[in-house]
Structure 1
Amino acid sequence: MKNALTSSLLTLTLLGGAAHAESIAPLRGTLTFVGRIVNGLCNTPTSTWRQHLGRDNGISPRKAPRPEAAGSCAGVGQTSSVSLAPIAAISSRGAGTGVITVTFH
């Protein structure tokens, strides 16, 4: 009896998952943030972020100068990485066009 219930439940679960996978409408959910933001982002120009593209483990390539941040905001010095993800639709506009992702400590 227990085996029959387990297989029935497994079949229903798999069929329900397949129905969601074939759905055109995306599933909606809730994202929860746990933690706190100590300092907000400094007003840093895009050109400064571009100088630090490729930053990894807090070290920028090409020895780009690191602008100092005020104590009340987070700038380049508080980041662990800066990267660029090109977007195919706009990449014809020029090299280096895309979404800049900044990861803070």
Structure 2
Amino acid sequence: MRHSPGRDIFLRALGKSEENNPFPDFTMREVRPGDVIVLCSDGLWSALIEDQIAHIVSTRPSQQACEELVRLANEVGGDENISVIILSFSQIYHDSEGVHIQSR
């Protein structure tokens, strides 16, 4: 993860500095029931090792895992923005028309 070519995907998507325009990446991946995706800031992945993150995410419900990851990153001196989102796929719906979003 630390040396992954995609490790700065969020910085590219948001713009690395005021001079840089955002450059989002669009990638399609197949997900299956049981798959988990962790999206996190460099403040989290630079503070914790990949095995720690994987263990916490695989042994706790998503909300508790997020809270624990942020707490641990802060404990080891997280001096940057520490953000994490965990996406857990329990069911996969296939819709030929795509995704529909309704606002309330």
Fold agreement, TM-score > 0.5: no
Higher relative contact order (CA 8 A, sep 6+): 2
Report the structure number with the largest CA radius of gyration: 1
Shorter-chain TM-score bucket reads under 0.3
Q: TM-score, normalised by structure 2?
A: 0.23
Q: TM-score, normalised by structure 1?
A: 0.23
